[in-house]
């Protein structure tokens, strides 16, 4: 009994130390002079915090909702038998939103589980049910994704999607090539001279989202 209590105490202290160290790293980067290198560090820290999250749009919101029951229903819709075993926490956005119902942020166990939820959603084509599951993206990637969607639509290309905070597009259903958009500057170059600027992605396959 005493040994178990001791082990639990050690684990708790270690966890606190790790969290404190991460917070100190964050503060250290924030307090440093803003340089291109430090800006990249801040972006990386933001991405890491969101790596295991998904955001659900369009799922009906009911009065006196029990959010974990809602998350369980979403998981069942994906075909997952015990979805709550993969979930750390979840909540509706509490900020005023022009989206009704409010989006749901789900923090999953890790990045691999997040990938599983996204893949199941996209393979099942559940956007046809008028709800959407997306990665929790940084503001910069959100902007890049939305602007890429506008550009892709203007070119009459098939679709665009994100995977692990990277933005992709495909020109047609028959085209097996995936193209990547690196950043806003790259998107501007694509708009002005696509042939010279396009990048064919050769990384392991990423599931496409036709939203």
Beta-carbon contacts of 162 under 8 Å, excluding residues fewer than 6 positions away, are 134, 135, 137, 141, 145, 168, 209
Beta-carbon contacts of 127 under 8 Å, excluding residues fewer than 6 positions away, are 209, 210, 211
pLDDT per residue as tens digits for the range 16-72 = 443 444 455 555 444 555 566 665 656 565 666 678 899 998 899 988 999 999 999
Task: Give the pLDDT of residue 181.
Answer: 93
With beta carbons less than 8 A apart as the criterion, state whether 140 and 163 touch.
no
DSSP 80-120: -SSGGGGEEEEEE--S--SSSSPPEEEEESSHHHHHHHHHH
Segment 124-151 shows an average pLDDT of: 87
pLDDT above 70 for 83: yes
Other Cβ atoms closer than 10 A to 55: 16
Beta-carbon contacts of 41 under 8 Å, excluding residues fewer than 6 positions away, are 29
Residue located via tokens 């501007």: 188
Arithmetic mean of pLDDT over the chain = 78
Identify the structural domains of the chain with CATH numbers, from first to last. Answer: 50-135 (3.30.70.260), 139-201 (no CATH)
pTM of the model: 0.64
Segment 82-89 shows an average pLDDT of: 94
pLDDT per residue as tens digits for the range 179-194 = 999 999 999 999 999 8
């Amino acid at each position: 009994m005493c040994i178990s209590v001791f082990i639990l105490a050690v684990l708790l202290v270690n966890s606190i130390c790790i969290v404190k160290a991460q917070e100190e790293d964050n503060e250290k980067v924030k307090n440093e002079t803003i340089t291109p290198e430090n800006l990249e560090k801040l972006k990386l820290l933001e991405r890491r915090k969101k790596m295991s999250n998904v955001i659900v749009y369009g799922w009906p919101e009911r009065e006196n909702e029990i959010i974990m029951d809602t998350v369980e229903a979403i998981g069942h819709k994906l075909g997952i038998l015990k979805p709550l075993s993969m979930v750390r926490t979840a909540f509706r956005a509490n900020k005023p939103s022009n989206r009704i119902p409010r989006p749901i942020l789900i923090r999953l166990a890790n990045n691999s589980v997040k990938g599983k939820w996204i893949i199941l959603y996209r393979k099942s084509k559940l956007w046809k049910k008028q709800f959407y599951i997306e990665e929790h993206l940084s503001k910069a990637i959100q902007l890049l994704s939305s602007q890429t969607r506008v550009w892709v639509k203007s070119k009459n290309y098939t679709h665009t999607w994100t995977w692990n905070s990277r933005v992709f597009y495909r020109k047609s259903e028959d085209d097996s090539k995936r193209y990547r958009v690196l950043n806003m500057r790259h998107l501007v170059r694509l708009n002005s001279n696509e042939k010279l600027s396009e990048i064919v992605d050769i990384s392991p396959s990423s599931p496409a989202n036709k939203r």
